[in-house]
Amino acid sequence: MKKVMMGNHALSYGAMLSRAQVISAYPITPQTQVVELLSEMCSDGTLNAQFIKVESEHSAMASCIGASVAGARTFTATSSQGLALMHEMLHWAGGGRHPIVMGNVNRSMAPGWSIWADQNDSLSQRDTGWMQFYCASNQEVVDTVIQAFKVAEALMIPAMVILDAFALSHTYEVVDVPDQGLVDKYLPPFKPAIKLTPADPRAFGGLTGAEHYMELRYKLETDMEKAPALIEETGREFGKIFGRDLGLVDPYRCDDADFIFVTSGTAGFTARVAVDELRKSGVKAGNLRIKVFRPFPFERVREVLGKVKKAAVVDRNCSYGAGGIFYQEVKSAIYGRPGMPPLIGYIAGLGGRDITTDSFKEIAADAMAKDRAEEEIVWIGVKK
């Protein structure tokens, strides 16, 4: 069934179709409609879930962890300052192996106070042991929530499904809503091997000395390393059922490209339009949209980069003192490998500043004029 919906409601529908059993969330602009619709679905019986109201995002994530330990499929959503307030609990969910799925609307961190898009909120949480999926359309949001539960529960690793503020969260797009019966087939009920129940008392997250802690972390890393293959496998399975493959990366016209953009989020879709226009003017351009940031798809990135002459990594974020965060990851993906192209890092679109096809053409012109990788980070559209 096709339906026009905003990105925030795409998250709500994803949680509903996944038959989330516990939802605990605190509203924050620009995420609020996610929670509003889910609370309506819970109250009118569309979704048979417990909705736990809380006084903060820290408590929201704490409630989700409790519900997940008790064996419930658990969903929440937040944004920016709310995600930052959850930080301690994010480590707890990741380290404790609680497969919660969370929607995060990418909103810039204050100050200056902002409700507009960039990725610094979610990328600041990269080391918390969560998978991170970056979406470029509302269709991808619905589909990815469903897939994220499947992967998260198989690996017992929580997952964030991430969408840009306003450009997706408040933008209405046509979404082919997956059939509930087919979703049920794809995503069977959550049945953890062990859970918190009075019939079988256990302690979770207890004091762990140096003789055991490192093994827990080793297992988290090695299980995270299984995620790329599992994301691709479950993505192909999703494609067989619903007609839309979900992968780690989305390469566009890269096979014969001299030059590519490396992008993420909605900018990764706008880049396609720029690629088509550049091709018309004789530039063999391409675009590699990175959909999954954690685990980082090193193999897939190398496969594409190995075929091109130059790449511009476009970041809607900044790790101050080190530049764009995707840029650093892409550099580390190709480190020490022969036949890899020069990379140039660009920062654009912070605080919701628009990233347009013209922004990409400016990046392409700058990158083509350079004959080697530059240490300097290039800022696009900054008033100087």
Partner 1 sequence: MVEIRFHGRGGQGTVVASKILADAIAKEDKWVQAYPEFGVERRGSPVVAFIRIDDKQIYDKSRIYTPDHVVVVDPTLVEAIDITEGLKPGGTIIINSDRRPEDFPFHGKFKVRTIDATAIAVKHKLGSLATPIVNTAIAGAVTKILGLARLESLAAAIRDGVPIKAEDNVKAATEAYEMA
Q: What count of other Cβ atoms lies within 10 Å of the Cβ of residue 147? A: 27
The span from the CA of 300 to the CA of 238, in Å, is 19
253 binds partner 1, rule: CB under 8 A = no
Q: Considering the complex, what minimum distance in angstroms separates the CB of residue 232 from partner 1?
A: 23
170 binds partner 1, rule: CB under 8 A = yes
Q: Considering the complex, what minimum distance in angstroms separates the CB of residue 135 from partner 1?
A: 11
Task: Report the site for partner 1 in 195-214 (rule: CB under 8 A).
Answer: none
Tokens of 324: 């764009």
Among 51, 356, 368, 374, binds partner 1 (CB under 8 A): 356
The span from the CA of 60 to the CA of 24, in Å, is 5
**For residue 297, cis peptide bond before it (omega within 30 degrees of 0):** no
Q: Considering the complex, what minimum distance in angstroms separates the CB of residue 172 from partner 1?
A: 4
173 binds partner 1, rule: CB under 8 A = yes
165 binds partner 1, rule: CB under 8 A = yes
Among 48, 56, 172, 189, binds partner 1 (CB under 8 A): 172
The span from the CA of 116 to the CA of 118, in Å, is 7
Among 36, 237, 354, 374, binds partner 1 (CB under 8 A): 354
- # binding residues, partner 1 (CB under 8 A): 28
Where b means 16+ CB within 10 Å and e means fewer, 78-105 reads bbbbbbbbbeebbebbbbbbbbbbbbbb
Among 57, 118, 121, 164, binds partner 1 (CB under 8 A): 164
- 217: phi then psi, degrees, rounded to nearest 5: -75, -35
Task: Assign 248 to helix, strand or coil.
Answer: coil
Task: Assign 351 to helix, strand or coil.
Answer: helix
Residue among 246 and 343 whose Cβ is closer to partner 1: 246
272 binds partner 1, rule: CB under 8 A = yes
Tokens of 365: 């012109």
Interior CA angle at 268 toward 267 and 273, to 5°? 90
Q: Considering the complex, what minimum distance in angstroms separates the CB of residue 306 from partner 1?
A: 25
Among 357, 362, 370, 373, binds partner 1 (CB under 8 A): 357
Q: Which stretch binds partner 1 (CB under 8 A): 13-21, 94-102, 269-277, 336-344?
A: 269-277
Q: Which stretch binds partner 1 (CB under 8 A): 98-106, 160-168, 314-322, 374-382?
A: 160-168
Cα dist from 78 to 8, 68, 81, 185, whole Å: 11, 18, 9, 28
Residue among 34 and 165 whose Cβ is closer to partner 1: 165
Q: Considering the complex, what minimum distance in angstroms separates the CB of residue 18 from partner 1?
A: 24
273 binds partner 1, rule: CB under 8 A = yes
From the list 138, 148, 161, the residue with the least C-alpha distance to 187 is 148
Q: Considering the complex, what minimum distance in angstroms separates the CB of residue 357 from partner 1?
A: 7
Residue among 113 and 320 whose Cβ is closer to partner 1: 113
How distant is the alpha carbon of residue 198 from its chain centre?
Answer: 35
Give me the sign of the Cα torsion angle 102, 103, 106, 112.
negative
110 binds partner 1, rule: CB under 8 A = no
Task: Assign 54 to helix, strand or coil.
Answer: coil
269 binds partner 1, rule: CB under 8 A = yes
Tokens of 1: 């069934």
Residue among 125 and 266 whose Cβ is closer to partner 1: 266
Q: Which stretch binds partner 1 (CB under 8 A): 31-39, 236-244, 301-309, 352-360?
A: 352-360
270 binds partner 1, rule: CB under 8 A = yes
Q: Is 285 exposed, middle or buried (0-12, 13-18, 19+ CB in 10 A)?
A: buried
Contact (Cβ atoms closer than 8 angstroms) between residue 367 and residue 259: yes
Chain residues that interact with partner 1, rule: CB under 8 A: 2-4, 29, 115-116, 136, 164-168, 170-174, 266-267, 269-270, 272-273, 352, 354-357
